[in-house]
Structure 1
Amino acid sequence: MIPTGLPRPVHADLSRVSESLGMLSPRWNVQILTTVSAQALRYTEIKARMPWLQDGQLHPKLRWLTAAGLLDRTEHGTRHVTYGLSARSTDLLPVLAVIAAWGGTHLEKPTPAPPGTADARAGAVVQNIEDTLVLIGARHATPILWSLQARGTSSAKAVAADAMPGHGLSAVYPRLRQLVDDRLVDTDTDTDADEADYRLSPPGQALAPVYRALSAWATGRPLTDAATHPVWGHPPAPSQVAGGMWASAASRLPAPAAPAPALQTTPSAQWRAGELFSHRHPVPARASAGTLTGGHRR
């Protein structure tokens, strides 16, 4: 369990969420899960859908995901093995939909391209998930965000006591600066770091559905119970999610032969996993509202 100075129930919940992020954040894990979401596939079929992976990279990933309980490995006969979603990862698909919705709304993107193929749109959804996980899965990022959600506006010293006990106070400043650069945290730009206060930005506040969903999945509860979360149970008012506030992340995906158009998703609670990840269903697009701002993403 990660060390924190948060109250014990909050600490236990945060630890479960951090463990879940540790399972999902490693490169290509989400891509593999979504690749087999429609049906179980053989190794060669998965490899054909992920041609950028070199030989020797996919097998360890499949073994790790199987050992973690996210993939079921089924032997049908001699040299006939398939990999499919476990019951645990099937329950994860609605959580990935929530993460994709946040990324589609808050991650900076280039000028939207015309609608592409279903494969391209599905790839854009996965990229939103991957890039969101880069942000919140970074070291100490989630504990800091939870501290600020629980405390409200806080000093670096208070955040360090909550999220990084045992570290010197100087260790929290690089983490806070990174979250400010990622536009998940706001601070006073004209104040010295030692005297500055920190607070969640509108995109940081809008992570509430993401963390509620991850917490529910980590404890095996239905997402319908997520609204009662003790820290993230009160989503920000619509007026707080202002336009022009965009988080950013450098994508870890390689440059594809035919770049997939950026997708803007709608955070609808009525999404079904198949509508997000099956290549047979188009993903609904959201109209762009104004000029996007923020740091580089892809």
Structure 2
Amino acid sequence: MATTGLPRSTQVDVARVTESLEMITPLWSVWILMTLSTQPLRYAEIKPRLPWLNDGTLHPKLRKLSDAGLVERTEVTQGHVTYGLTGRGADLLPVLTVIAAWGEAHLEKPLVKNKETGKLEPLATVAPAQNIEDTLALIGPRHATPILWALKDRGASSAKALSAAAMPSYRLSNIYPQVDRLVSDGLVRKDGRAYELTANGHALAPVYRALSAWATGRPLADAGTHPLWGQAPEAKQGKSGPWLTTQPRVSAPATAVPAATISALSTQSPAAPATAWKGGDLFSHRMPARPIALPQAGGPRR
């Protein structure tokens, strides 16, 4: 477990959530999990659903998800092998719904050209799987979650205090690139010499509550009682709304998501059990040739 200067109970919670993020943050993991969300499939059935992943990528990712206990490989008969979600993997689905809801509400949508006017306009909807992976790209890097939790716990903090709380085993200089990335991502802001969560950083509360509940095996309905992220924000939040990035968000597949799915995501109560995914919720009726690959850590964000 990574050492932090946070209280022991919070430190254990952070470690569990960080470990959970490590399981699902690698690129395309969410797409694979959602492909298996309806029923177990043979490899030959998975591959057409994820045509942009070659064998050299899909096989190792299935193996890693199996090692993480999220996917189960079952040999039905000789030569007939299926891949399906384990009970633990199935329990993760409503957590992914919460993450997708945050992405839909707070991530900047890519611009597409309106065929009638010729003007660039925000894409109407982004596939939930893309919103999930884009969100994980922000909070998944190694030190992102400890820093965000330290700021939630302590409020506005200097770099020195933040380093002592979130990265005590590192030199002070190591905190700057980590927190500056969160500033550029719009989750943290710098006010003079102090750092604090932005409105969008505070809005991660449902995401971290859900991840904490899943990591400890608790029902998602109990997530609202989280001792840290269940509290109302004390720091000033400033202007709310989608965060701005240093460059436009990487375009998601230009596909439509069923209206019922968008409605369920937008009206869902963060503390209540999430709506179960249905087949096709994360993908359009027409499979894209290949979604644009996203950077896994560092660099400008969407």
Aligned pairs for 1:99-178 (under 5 A) are: 99-110=99-110, 111-113=121-123, 124-178=127-181
* Paired letter, 2:81: V
Aligned-partner Cα distance in 2 for 1:73–1:47: 15
TM-score under structure 1 length normalisation: 0.82
> Paired residue for 1:42?
42
Aligned-residue CA RMSD in angstroms?
2.9
Match status 1:224 vs 2:227 = no
CA distance in 2 between counterparts of 1:249 and 1:74 reads 45
Match of 1:260 among 248, 255, 258: 255
Is 1:215 the equivalent of 2:212? Answer: yes
Give, as a single letter, the amino acid of the residue that structure 1 aligns with 2:138. Answer: L
1:90 is displaced (CA, Å) by: 0.8
Residue in 1 that maps onto 2:182: 179
Contact 2:4-2:168 at 8 Å conserved across structures: yes
1:205 maps to what in 2? 202
Contact 1:185 1:204 in 2 (8 A): yes
**Within 1, Cα distance between the matches of 2:93 and 2:51?**
23
Instruction: Give TM-score, length-normalised by structure 2.
Output: 0.81
Aligned positions of 1:26-105 closer than 5 A: 26-105=26-105
1:245 to partner: Cα distance: 4.1
**How many positions carry a matched residue from both structures?**
269
Q: Paired residue for 1:278?
A: 279
Specify the SS of the correspondent of 2:84: strand
Secondary structure at 1:273's aligned position in 2? Answer: coil
Q: Which runs of 5+ in 1 are unaligned?
A: 116-120, 284-294
Relative to structure 1, the CA distance from residue 278 to residue 140 in structure 2 (aligned partners, 3 Å threshold; closer, same or farther) is same
The answer to whether the 8 A contact 1:103-1:129 is kept is yes
Task: Write the distance in 2 (CA, Å) between the matches of 1:47 and 1:77.
Answer: 20
Shift of 1:248: 4.8
Specify the SS of the correspondent of 2:149.
helix
Displacement after TM superposition at 1:160 (Å): 0.3
Counterparts of 1:244 and 1:297 in 2: how far apart (Å)? 17
Which residue identity lines up with residue 125 of structure 1 in the other structure?
P
For 2:75, the aligned partner's letter is: E
Superposed structure 1 runs of 4+ greater than 4 Å apart: 239-242, 247-256, 261-265, 280-283, 295-298
In structure 2, do the counterparts of structure 1 residues 253 and 79 end up closer, same or farther at CA, with 3 Å as the change threshold? farther
Instruction: Write the deviation string for residues 166-198 of structure 1: whole angstroms up to 9, x where unpaired.
Output: 21111111111111000000112xx4xxxx111
Query: Conserved in 1, the CA contact under 8 Å of 2:200 and 2:241?
Result: no
* Identical residues among aligned pairs (%): 56
